[in-house]
Amino acid sequence: MTKFLPLCIFALAMVFSNVGLAAKGVYQTPADFISNSFADVTSQAKVLWLTKEDKTVIADILQHKYNRMRIRYWQAGNETVWILNEVGKEKPITIGVHVKNNHINHFKVLTFRESRGDEVRHEFFSQQFINATLNKDNRLSQSVDGITGATLSVRATTKVARLALWLNTKVATNGL
């Protein structure tokens, strides 16, 4: 029995060291998300330059300072696609948001880099954002149920949904 103890400890160490790796993954490329969102029309890549006031609103939505000067997006008519990153616990989560007529039409976690909390990538979670709009307080029009063990990932995805809707409103208002 004592002969096998080191082997058992090694085996258990290997199992537990790989647990965190299972959550990481690329589920769809940004290019595929964009082309799937605009299946019947050609979209144009554009850049939204951010003002100091924009960064203040964005910082309020994200609950942290936002240092970027511009954000790339894709547009076709009244539809926009935003590929945005937000940190869950320690690493960025890449999320695609397709907004049509000021409603979220499609929402998907494209790349997840954290060791846990990847449940947000599943369709049962993403579906909660469909048809969401933004109210006057820059909050989502519908509630999003949390996931036990994925609290920070849920917060990150909710912030990105709010941000994409706000950015879409800015683009639509300014006729960009």
| pLDDT tens digits, one per residue of 55-83 | 999 999 999 999 999 999 999 989 999 99
Which band of pLDDT confidence, cut at 50, 70 and 90, is reported for residue 16? very low
- % of the chain surpassing 90 pLDDT: 74
Q: What are phi and psi of 80, to 5 degrees?
A: -130, 155
Residue 81's CB is within 10 A of a number of other CB atoms, namely 27
3-state secondary structure of 162: helix
Cα dihedral 147, 66, 49, 99, rounded to 10, equals 10
pLDDT confidence of residue 42? 80
Of 12-21, 23-32, 79-88, which gets the smallest average pLDDT?
12-21
Of 15-19, 151-155, 163-167, which gets the smallest average pLDDT?
15-19
CA–CA distance, 162 with 43 (Å, rounded to integer): 22
Which band of pLDDT confidence, cut at 50, 70 and 90, is reported for residue 2? low
Measured CA angle at 40 (ends 37, 44), to 5 deg = 65
Rg (CA), the chain: 19
Of 9-13, 84-88, 100-104, which gets the smallest average pLDDT?
9-13
pLDDT higher than threshold 90 for residue 37: yes
CA–CA distance, 55 with 64 (Å, rounded to integer): 10
CA–CA distance, 84 with 81 (Å, rounded to integer): 10
pLDDT confidence of residue 76? 92
Residue 143's CB is within 10 A of a number of other CB atoms, namely 10
CA–CA distance, 172 with 176 (Å, rounded to integer): 7
